[in-house]
Amino acid sequence: MIIYLATRGEYSDYRVCHAFARREDAEAYKLGDDVAEFEVHDGPVEVRFWYDLDWDTREPEQQDAWPPNPHIESELRDYDGDEKRAEHTWSGDVFLNVQGWDRDLVRKVYSEQRAQFLARKEGVS
C-alpha cells in the first residue's frame, strides 16, 4: 500500500502535515507545500550497516593518517535483502569507491581492484 504525505517547510522548518491514501487528496491539502510518497510496510524494516570504502591511488596507503587511505565508513540503512551485494566504481582511474553490506566483502573487492590497478600500473595485465 502506498500513502502520500502532505509536507510543509524546509530543513529545520520541515514537517509532515497529514498522511493520505490518495495522491490527489495530499496535493489538494491547502497547508502543504509538497507531497512525498511512501510504501506502508506490514512489519518492521530491517536495518543493517552499509559500508563505504574510498581509496585514492595518488595518496600513500596509510592507516595511521587522517583520513586513512583507504578509508572506510558505515551507516545504518534499510536492508535490501542482498547480503552479498557489493559495488565498485572508479573515478578518473585514480579514485576507487567500494560499497556493500558485508565489510569483509567490501575489503575483498577493494583488494582485488587494488591488485588489478597495481598490475596495470606495472604493465602486467
pLDDT digits (tens, 9 = 90+) for 110-122: 999 999 999 988 8
What is the phi/psi pair of residue 36, to 5°? -115, 140
Query: What's the mean pLDDT in 74-102?
Result: 95
pLDDT in tens, 23-66: 999 999 999 999 999 999 999 999 999 999 999 999 989 888 88
Q: Give yes or no for a contact between 74 and 103, defined as CB atoms under 8 angstroms apart.
A: yes
Sole residue written with cell 543493517: 48
Residue 94 has pLDDT above 80, yes or no: yes
Residue 9 has pLDDT above 80, yes or no: yes
Query: What's the mean pLDDT in 79-108?
Result: 95
The pLDDT assigned to 125 comes to 63
The pLDDT assigned to 48 comes to 97
- The DSSP-derived string for the chain is -EEEEEEE--GGG-EEEEEESSHHHHHH-TT-SEEEEEEPPSSPPPEEEEEEEEEETTS--BSSSSS-BSEEEEEEEE--S-TT-EEEEEETTTEEEEEES-HHHHHHHHHHHHHHHHHHHTT--
The pLDDT assigned to 76 comes to 98
